[in-house]
């Protein structure tokens, strides 16, 4: 019998994570490939997290703490919010899905940019909601246009800040004006996965809206600057009411014991965070300068990656770089996103790019 699949699910394209490095090297007959595609920390995990993991294996026969109590308590203390204002997820991706489950009924709307983190679209479509995409303006979220797109059926607005894949931000004044126009029935989600990398002096304090008990969710993660992408753990800060509803649709043991243990240790690793920031800032300027010398114009980025127009078939450039042992991310059309790596990785990318263009 043919499968009966909901049309919303049938039209989804699965997220493509790319092949493992060893498999790619085997297929292409190359060695020493570098991966600059997924915005991972090139310095690796927090050393404190690695040390914590070395003592966690003996209790793996036990279920993890279903409420991630110790990590939740540490996050609440660090961010000066109440314990019941924090929720921990299997990556911040899971919290996005929980928000859709809890607050978007079939046919209800979620507003987002047309060029932003793909998981918003996948989660809303998978939950049978309606997507309202608003074009970026000069590669940034057009917050006035997003406010105008809100209707009585809008339940969520997603603002990725800094935006993935562009690296651009919306500022404090822009967010203040936007929030003044958002009706109370709409939950605004500020996805700040790259928060720790931001250097801009006018980056908004989105947590102020949580402290004012506004329907706002701030998402952050341990996958980026803390270097724990392989453990899949992120968190959200919001109102106690929203947290309560998210817990109702959350799986009981959604974050594993080792992830909780490593994240708790990484949260206290200020040295690793500082070193990662310094490396990212200095190497980003090197890569951006070299790209400009090649005639490209990378967008100003507040994250740990650069986004630029190759002015040719981006997928073709991506494939030619692959054959040189350099993995970047082709997003769409002529656009390429490259993660800022360690100096030798960035040199490898720039040499390969010069060769393939």
Element (H, E) at 149: helix 143-149
Q: What is the pLDDT of residue 285?
A: 98
Q: What is the pLDDT of residue 58?
A: 86
Q: How far apart are the first and last CA of the chain?
A: 50
Question: For residues 184 and 155, what is the distance between their CA atoms, to the nearest angstrom?
Answer: 10
For residue 201, give both structure tokens: 């002096």
Q: Which residues of the chain have a pLDDT value below 50? A: none
Q: What is the pLDDT of residue 55?
A: 86
Cα angle for residues 154, 123, 108 (degrees, 5° grid): 25
**47-266: which CATH architecture?**
3-Layer(aba) Sandwich (3.40)
Look at the pTM and tell me if it is higher than 0.85: yes
- In sequence order, what are the residues at sequence separation of 6 or more whose Cβ sits closer than 8 angstroms to the Cβ of residue 247? 87
Q: What is the pLDDT of residue 16?
A: 73
Q: What is the pLDDT of residues 15-69, one digit of tens each?
A: 777 667 787 788 878 888 899 999 999 999 999 999 999 887 888 899 999 999 9
Q: What is the pLDDT of residue 5?
A: 87
Is residue 197 within 8 A of residue 225, CB to CB? The reply is yes
Residue extents of the structural domains in the chain: 7-45+270-356, 47-266
Q: What is the pLDDT of residue 89?
A: 98
Q: What is the pLDDT of residue 1?
A: 67
Q: What is the pLDDT of residue 8?
A: 87
Cis peptide before 145 (omega within 30 of 0): no
For domain 7-45+270-356, give the fold.
Answer: 3.90.1150
Q: Would 7-45+270-356 and 47-266 be classified into the same CATH topology?
A: no
Q: What is the pLDDT of residue 252?
A: 94
Q: What is the pLDDT of residue 13?
A: 82
């Amino acid at each position: 019998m043919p499968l009966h699949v909901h049309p919303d699910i049938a039209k989804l394209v699965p997220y493509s994570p790319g092949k493992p490095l060893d498999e790619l090297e085997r297929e292409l007959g190359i060695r020493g490939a570098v991966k600059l595609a997924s915005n991972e920390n090139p310095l690796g995990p927090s050393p404190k997290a690695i040390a914590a993991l070395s003592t966690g294996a003996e209790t793996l026969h036990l279920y993890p703490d279903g409420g991630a109590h110790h990590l939740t308590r540490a996050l609440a203390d660090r961010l000066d919010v109440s314990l019941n204002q924090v929720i921990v997820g299997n990556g911040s991706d899971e919290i996005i899905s929980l928000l859709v489950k809890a607050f978007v009924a079939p046919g209800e709307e979620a507003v987002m940019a047309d060029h932003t983190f793909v998981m918003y679209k996948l989660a809303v479509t998978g939950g049978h909601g309606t997507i309202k995409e608003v074009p970026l303006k000069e590669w940034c979220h057009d917050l006035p246009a997003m406010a105008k797109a809100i209707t009585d059926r809008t339940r969520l607005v997603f603002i990725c800040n800094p935006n993935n894949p562009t690296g651009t931000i919306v500022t404090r004044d822009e967010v203040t004006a936007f929030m003044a126009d958002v009706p109370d029935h709409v939950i605004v989600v500020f996805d700040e996965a790259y928060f720790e990398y931001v250097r801009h002096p006018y980056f908004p304090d989105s947590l102020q809206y949580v402290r004012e008990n506004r329907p706002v969710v701030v998402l952050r993660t341990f996958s980026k600057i803390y270097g724990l992408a392989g453990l899949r753990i992120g968190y959200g800060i919001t109102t106690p009411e929203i947290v309560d509803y998210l817990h109702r649709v959350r799986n009981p043991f959604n974050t594993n014991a080792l992830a909780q243990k490593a994240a708790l240790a990484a949260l206290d690793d200020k040295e690793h965070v500082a070193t990662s920031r310094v490396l990212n800032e200095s190497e980003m300027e090197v890569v951006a300068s070299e790209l400009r010398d090649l005639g490209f114009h990378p967008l100003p980025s507040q994250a740990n990656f650069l986004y630029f127009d190759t002015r040719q078939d981006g997928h073709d450039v991506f494939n030619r770089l692959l054959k040189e042992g350099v993995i970047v991310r082709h997003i769409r059309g002529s656009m390429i996103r490259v993660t800022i790596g360690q100096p030798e990785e960035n040199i490898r990318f720039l040499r390969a790019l010069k060769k393939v263009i």
